[in-house]
Structure 1
């Protein structure tokens, strides 16, 4: 409890600020990357939201609605990123409930982003495999189901992020108060970390990869236009899977390292020391890479897919 008392006591501020005068690459690198993400990614996601909102009166596809959902969740993550930047340079100077609530909102947004990418993969698979005629009654039924899917997606994100409220705290790390995981029980810490790895990476990535593998194997016989559309989708799919894997793998590797260091703390002190040293050097950077994914998503989904260009071309033809 002493570190919590110190973090909320103004008499500790000069000591903390003096310690913070020396900034290493462990703080500067992630801080600069996060700042660039906010400056580039937030306007890009807002542009996607505005573009789709202008088309909302028309009958936009469910894929475009998923793009909107992705842009909203990524915008939430990037809007909260400045708190992480401030914390990197000056420590967490807010109270413990601000730590829990802000991190909970960020995790909600990030889970919603991951689940949206996963739902996109499943939806594309359904489009390719479905042979149901496009009747009006079926369209209304599908619209109702899709609304439930979007509501269920955010419901899952809210539930998945709930452990953050109970496991986040303010601790002194490297002379600064940090808003981070604070679990005393070894079993509890390992359980939370496994929960994040399985639900935040293993299941979504497996679903994405499986769906697109089946899409790639599906033989469509609708002529040259279909082949071009399939080729364009394949390029987009490769970008989606690659970006998700590259930007999220480091975060969950760090989670696995945390699990290993927790389990080896007492039995293998030398291994524990090596793992903790690696974790201190790369932990903040790995989290920053996950936020970069939010910056890249608008370009992957709005630009590479050509959905908005296709919409504009259709409007021009109607005129």
Structure 2
């Protein structure tokens, strides 16, 4: 769960840098930089996964061994699932949404001819992430509420809900790991036919080109203005030299 979500978050950050600061992309795409970033991510997700190993035990049910979550204290339930909510949804999803909002704003400022399709693809990525993972974390919060709730009919109802929903929402959540490639294929199949597998790079390349074109035009305009100023100065100096070198005429004598 953690690495798939964190890697999607890193992809959104990379796209943000590629669109807003295209000249700085090379600073984060070096081989050593990428390896270090991925290594740090994997270390962090392994540490975040420790509670899932601690709060699991093997039980014998119907002559079968079942590995399932077992919490000795209600606070353990809150600790594990609140950690999943914060590290596995709230933080990465906030980063993803903010990144794509900034990307969309940048795309709206360009004359990129595929801007509308780009916006739809970005919106689909964000919504897909939410739709796949939100039910899973809602069930987590229901279980946390059940664990902290006093005994009564409400507690029994919450217990029934999370027990019956856990398997389904977990399956939906993990399907998201293979959803993005399918989403990219159907949303950008025209890019794939024209550009090959590097169509995502081509998708955002127009923004960098547009920015470079504007800078080039501005530089050209500044250069022309400087040339005009230089020509004016030279003409002025030439006129002054001509007037100073002219000889006076003494009535034809």
Does TM, scored on the shorter chain, surpass 0.5? Answer: yes
Which of structures 1 and 2 has the larger relative contact order (alpha carbons within 8 angstroms, sep 6+)?
1
User: Hey, what does 1:250 align to over in structure 2?
Assistant: 135
State the alpha-carbon separation in 2 of the partners of residues 269 and 176 from structure 1: 32
Alpha-carbon offset, residue 130 of structure 1: 0.4
Matched, 1:117 2:5: no
1:273 CA drift (Å): 0.2
Q: In structure 2, what is the Cα distance between the partners aligned to 1:120 and 1:198?
A: 19
| CA–CA separation in structure 2 for the residues paired with 1:239 and 1:219 | 16
- Residue 214 of structure 1: how far off its partner (Å): 1.3
Q: 1:141 & 1:289 partners in 2: Cα distance?
A: 32
Deviation of 1:141 (Å): 6.9
Report the secondary structure of 1:280's partner residue.
helix
CA offsets per residue over residues 283-319 of structure 1, 9 Å max, x none?
A: 11111111221232221234534564413799xxxxx
Q: Quote the offset at 1:282 in angstroms.
A: 1.4
| 1:263 aligned onto 2:151 | no
Q: Is residue 2:71 matched to residue 1:183?
A: yes
Secondary structure (helix, strand or coil) at the match of 1:184 reads coil
**Which residues of structure 1 form unaligned runs of 5+?**
1-109, 315-319
DSSP 3-state at the match of 1:170 = strand
Q: Distance in 1 between matches of 2:69 and 2:123?
A: 34
Question: Which of the pair has more CA radius of gyration?
Answer: 2
Paired position in structure 1 for 2:126: 241
CA–CA separation in structure 2 for the residues paired with 1:121 and 1:140: 13
What's the CA shift string for 1:250-273, capped at 9, x where partnerless? 110110011000001xx2421110
Give the Cα separation in 1 of the matches to 2:17 and 2:62: 50
**Distance across 2 between alignment mates of 1:209 and 1:158:** 25
TM-score, normalised by the number of residues in structure 2: 0.68
TM-superposed deviation, 1:209? 0.8
Q: Which runs of 5+ in 2 are unaligned?
A: 200-253
Count of residue pairs brought into register by the alignment: 197
1:23-66: CA deviation from partner (whole Å, max 9, x where unpaired):
xxxxxxxxxxxxxxxxxxxxxxxxxxxxxxxxxxxxxxxxxxxx
